[in-house]
Amino acid sequence: MNIYGQTLEELENYFATKNQKKFKAAQVYDWLYKKRVNSFHDMTNIKKEIIISLSQDFSIQKPKILQKQSGKDVHKYLLELNDNSKVEAVLMLHDYGNSLCISTQVGCNMGCAFCESGRQKKKRNLEADEMVSQILLIEKDLGLRISHIVLMGIGEPFDNYDNVIKFIQIINSNKGIDIGSRHITVSTCGIVPKIKQFARESLQVNLAISLHAPNDKLRSRLMKINKVYPLKDVIDAVKYYIAQTNRRVTFEYIMLKNVNDGFEEAEELAKLLKGLNAYVNLIPYNETSHIDFQKTSESHIMRFYDILKKNHINVTVRRKFGSEVAAACGQLRSSYEEGK
């Protein structure tokens, strides 16, 4: 087991089995996440026999940075895991803080038509420690504090539900990395049972739904998951989530030229979301050489935006990042593999 995949409670239980006081777990967390040591032997206020026990029972390894690309206010990383699998993470510098988009799986089985990651079939889930390590590695590399986390990289978070929940518990702990609940966003393409389960977790983190179309015909063309969980089921699950949590939901909408960006689609989207405690995030598309979709012009996006506004839908346009750094999700990994 890797030590970075242990919640504070799990470490407390571990020390209990060793007939040790549970405060030892908080000491270990302090060394891992506040002092950021890379070896158990650097934990100088912990007894030698406990250090030996930790070394025998846990790994303290992290992935390695294989490749890095930087552009204006953005840094994109290709990380190699201990089994040589590769995932991506993207750090975006905003005026409100530093936001890291992390991966949750090696590859993805959702097969969304516009997504580079969808071309790379899922090989396995990431363990909680492999998600935590993405934060630790990039904070160290850039010498800065990451304040916001978005689970929107390679993979579908709710297809790796248990590890994602554990990851959130670890990074949210005030004795750990201490990232506030409301600074954590989980994005899903719409796995309905997991949306409902997530609503019952009593977490204060943000939920985002990858929508990308206002009707079943178009969404099924763009997103295979819609054939399993059509829009009505997704919207019903969102209503359940809002009722359970009293939290606003984000709907992500990638703007694809002459596909889903028509003004009739804007009107249809407004009708679909009317009355929900939600807002729409319009996302300029990052084009990739492997997929034929094209980005919508800025002026057209703003006209789409205006239609939603006139229909009293809360809406924002996501700032475009990383057109110079292979920014599309999975693009850096693909180019690396092809380069080999």
How far is it, in rounded angstroms, from Cα 3 to Cα 55?
A: 10
- pLDDT (tens digit per residue) in 118-143: 667 899 999 999 999 999 999 999 99
- pLDDT (tens digit per residue) in 233-246: 999 999 999 999 99
How many beta carbons lie within 10 A of that of residue 50, not counting itself? 17
- pLDDT (tens digit per residue) in 272-312: 999 999 999 999 998 886 788 999 999 999 999 999 999 99
Contact 175, 26 (CB under 8 A): yes
Kindly tell me if the per-residue pLDDT of 330 is higher than 60: no
How far is it, in rounded angstroms, from Cα 73 to Cα 61?
A: 29
How far is it, in rounded angstroms, from Cα 58 to Cα 170?
A: 16
Question: Does domain 64-339 fall into CATH 3.20.20.70?
Answer: yes
How far is it, in rounded angstroms, from Cα 161 to Cα 12?
A: 23
CA distance between the termini of the chain: 31
Share of residues in the chain with pLDDT > 90 (%) = 89
| DSSP code, position 203 | -
Q: Which residue has the higher pLDDT, 11 or 330?
A: 11
Question: What is the β-pairing status of strands 124-125 and 105-106?
Answer: antiparallel
Whole-number pLDDT of residue 26 = 97
Amino acid at site 109:
N
Q: Which residue has the higher pLDDT, 166 or 326?
A: 166
Kindly tell me if the per-residue pLDDT of 174 is higher than 80: yes
Percent of the chain as helix, strand, coil, to the nearest 5: 40, 20, 35
Kindly tell me if the per-residue pLDDT of 333 is higher than 90: no
Q: What is the domain partition of the chain in residue ranges?
A: 3-57, 64-339
Q: Which CATH architecture has domain 3-57?
A: Orthogonal Bundle (1.10)
On average, the pLDDT of the chain sits at 93
Residue 146, helix vs strand vs coil: coil
Active site residue ranges: 88, 329
